[in-house]
Amino acid sequence: MAKRWYVVHTYSGYENKVKTDLEHRIETYGLERAVVDIQIPTEEVTEVKDGGKRETKESKVFPGYVLVRMELDDNTWAVVRNTPGVTGFVGIDGKPVPLRRDEFDKIMRRGGMKTGSPVPKRTATNIEVGQAIHVLSGPLADFDGTVSEVNAESGKIKVMLTIFGRETPVELTMDQISLID
């Protein structure tokens, strides 16, 4: 049977604990051949602190989600599903749905970079709530969404993106988006 990537929903903030607990459970139940990889998608974020000091840290791209590559059967499903901190699999009608390869590559930022014409400089003043946008760069590149909030002072916008079948608010900068007509 093929090993596929599945998305597991966890309590937010428990992703690392779920990964550690799941690794121990896989070893305990002897499922090393059936469950072969566990990933928590992250990105490096640079924050400017008081005094202009820059601090780089790892930030979770999808808080509350862990990716698991496994052969799905009743046994592996039960071991993953009953891991403390796991609330369930992302799927349809309670049935886990595997990620397509392009979805996994996009989530893990392994897809090829697209090149195109330079995007004209935008300001928050010419973007309105409700406008449709396309994300150009970052870990959420190629997602489409709707503007839910505009912060002209910081030059950032909040966008609602559908990720794993749920509306998720994401903060983006002007150079990360293009408007959809």
Where along the chain do its domains lie?
2-109, 129-177
Both tokens assigned to 116: 């195109």
Distance CA 144, CA 140 (A): 9
Same CATH topology for 2-109 and 129-177: the answer is no
Question: What is the model's pTM?
Answer: 0.61
Distance CA 146, CA 138 (A): 17
Both tokens assigned to 174: 């002007």
pLDDT 10s digit of each residue in the chain, 181 long?
A: 688 999 999 998 899 999 999 999 999 999 999 999 999 988 777 777 777 788 888 888 888 999 999 999 999 999 999 999 999 998 887 789 998 888 888 877 754 433 333 334 445 557 888 888 888 887 788 888 888 888 877 778 888 888 877 788 888 887 788 888 7
Instruction: Tell me which fold the domain 129-177 belongs to.
Output: SH3 type barrels. (2.30.30)
Instruction: Tell me which fold the domain 2-109 belongs to.
Output: Alpha-Beta Plaits (3.30.70)
**In one letter, which amino acid is 73?**
D
